[in-house]
A and B are shown apart, each in its own frame.
Chain A
């Protein structure tokens, strides 16, 4: 089955810096890769996703890149703000209607003012 690894487990940056979180997956059949943000005590919320027919997707300060050959994908946050502080989870699944998401272990991002 699919296995997703995520690094780093914690990341501390200064406000305005960029943050990069990396994930690798094992199943070459996986082709849907969402990223979720979870604030303390809150539910996970989708921030961006990418399908394997594209290599990069950007939404304002957030971007995701995908390398299918190497089986890894990354989340990039530019101009970080304190409100970006949260736990970020990557996930992978087959791109079908009913997808079983396999999650990484999470990255705790702390943005200091």
Chain B
């Protein structure tokens, strides 16, 4: 079946502009996660969704970052008033999220460059 997809694959924006990044999880996956990966670094947790609710937003770097999920499917990560330090690859992952830990399947990421 189809894997996790993300769009756009690349985004170049000017400092101060807002951007929206989209994630389409694997159908039927209840859990959805957003991570940020700066160049040459590890994955930094941002937020996760349990259905359409976000029990853990602890990783969002500032109030410029927000995310929503609708219909237990698509999620959008919004970054307002982008800064150069926001430049990174933003990865989305989804999992079945049953009682035990399930494999998180990652999307290809959106490479964001803030000029």
What's the nearest-Cβ distance from chain B to residue A18, in Å? 24
Residue from A51, A89, A102, A105 within 8 A of B45 (CB atoms): A102
Residue from B55, B95, B106 within 8 A of A44 (CB atoms): B106
- In the complex, besides A44-B91, A46-B103, A100-B48, 7 extra interface pairs with C-beta distance below 8 angstroms are A43-B106, A49-B101, A95-B100, A98-B48, A98-B50, A101-B33, A101-B43
B99 located at the interface, meaning its Cβ lies under 8 Å from any Cβ of chain A in the complex: yes
Contacts of A91 in B (CB 8 A): 43
* A97-B98 CB under 8 A given contacts A43-B106, A43-B109, A44-B91: yes
19 contacts between A and B (CB under 8 A): A32-B101, A43-B91, A43-B106, A45-B106, A46-B104, A51-B101, A89-B43, A96-B99, A97-B30, A97-B31, A97-B101, A98-B55, A98-B97, A99-B104, A102-B45, A103-B43, A105-B41, A105-B42, A106-B41
How many residues of B are in contact with the other chain, CB < 8 A?
A: 29
B25 located at the interface, meaning its Cβ lies under 8 Å from any Cβ of chain A in the complex: no
Chain B residue nearest in CB terms to A31: B101
